[in-house]
Amino acid sequence: MSLRSVFRLALGLIFFLGCDQANRVVIQSFTPRDLIAQPQDLEIQFSQAVIPEPQVGSRVDPGLIQIQPALEKSCTWHSPQVIRCYLRGYTPETSYQAEISKQLVPRESGKRLKGNRRFQFTLKGLSVRNLSSTFLPRESPPRLAFTLSFNQEVEPGELSRRLKILAPDGATLPYSLRSWRPATELDFDTYLQGYHQFGWKSVTVEIAAGLPNQARNSTLKTPWLRKVPFPAGGHLEIFRFQPVQRGRAYAIQICFSSAVESNVLPKFLQLDPEVEYRAEQEESCSDLIGQFLPGVTYTVTIKSGLTSSLDQYLEKEMSQKVKIPDLQPTLSLIGEGHYLPRQGAMNLGLETINREQVQVRVKKIFANNLVYFLAGGSGC
């Protein structure tokens, strides 16, 4: 073979490999995968666009996405390179095998689906995801409110037959369920009769094994226990004084080691120069809302004796100077909502502060994606 023939063969091979690479499509991401805590919808993202933009929103032949054991599914093209399927009928503790047909990439696109096309996922059995609590010591007797989070919906009645709240001495405390419908989050509370009398520092929440989910196809395999300590009293600390912009005005924010009720703080607080204000509590911080002027320095004094909702006590008077800065440039929409009305002027109201012009980018949300978007998705 002559040198020229070898050169032509090599050049043809390079051209062939280049074309093959350009037409090669792989599945870049697939969800759900492996062990999942909650039922998830299916999403396939390809390495490049495989359909033209006008076909976005069209249905996908469900036979091209095989899932065993079978799940009810409805699939559409979410974008030129993404397919979304709504899945129904999950069974916990079941391993599902998904196989994607090569024909999912249309032949007329000139592209071919390569690489891995088989995926596996399993829905976890019923489990407790989290227990959050809110301690309300100002009530008499103090109240402890709980929210139990599960990975699947649970009937409140089934939970009440297996739930216990135990005092430090092992006594069972009465409680009230505040949820009435099956849900993944159930609320309940109890009153702590012995908090002051016996100096309780914690309680224990217990769920017996055997709690079923609403579908009754999975149960809690082992007893679940969680010790819930009460926030400790002691010294009240002030972490910071700072100006915070709220719309077209500034507030002075004071953050404590525990929350101070808004009707208690003004009795221990002094401003210089004086300004009429109201206090708003946000977790462990309190915002002073008033006509605070940019460029003016205010001295905030908090007197000793201030007590928080957790009985923490401010031992020494504390003062801090806070200078109010100029308003920061901001942009916000007038009103709230997800989309514009179909009729009318179709105007989008904007409110600006210290900004002469803005750049607005509008992204279209296709009709088939409205449910996903309104449910909290970010795709457009």
Q: What is the pLDDT of residue 233?
A: 67
Whether a cis peptide bond, with omega within 30° of 0, leads into 32 is: yes
List, for residues 113-133, the tens digit of each pLDDT value: 999 999 999 999 999 999 998
Amino acid at 19: C
How many alpha carbons fall within 13 Å on the CB side of residue 94?
A: 15
The DSSP call for residue 210 is T
**In CATH, which of 3.30.300, 1.20.120, 2.60.40, 2.40.128 is domain 128-229?**
2.60.40
Q: What is the pLDDT of residue 15?
A: 43
Is the separation of the CB atoms in 314 and 305 below 8 Å?
A: yes
List, for residues 42-101, the tens digit of each pLDDT value: 999 999 999 999 999 999 998 999 999 999 999 999 999 999 999 999 999 999 999 999
107 compared with 166, residue with greater pLDDT: 166
List, for residues 161-204, the tens digit of each pLDDT value: 999 999 999 999 999 999 999 999 999 999 998 887 787 889 99
Residues of the chain within CATH 2.60.40.3710 domain(s) are: 3-123
Q: Which of 220, 218, 146, 157 is nearest to 185 (CA)?
A: 146
CATH number of 234-323: 2.60.40.1220
Query: Which token pair is 244?
Result: 């915070």
Question: Per-residue pLDDT averaged across 131-150, rounded?
Answer: 86
Q: Which of 64-68, 293-297, 371-375 has the highest mean pLDDT?
A: 64-68
**Is pLDDT of 16 > 60?**
no
The fold adopted by the segment(s) 3-123 is Immunoglobulin-like (2.60.40)
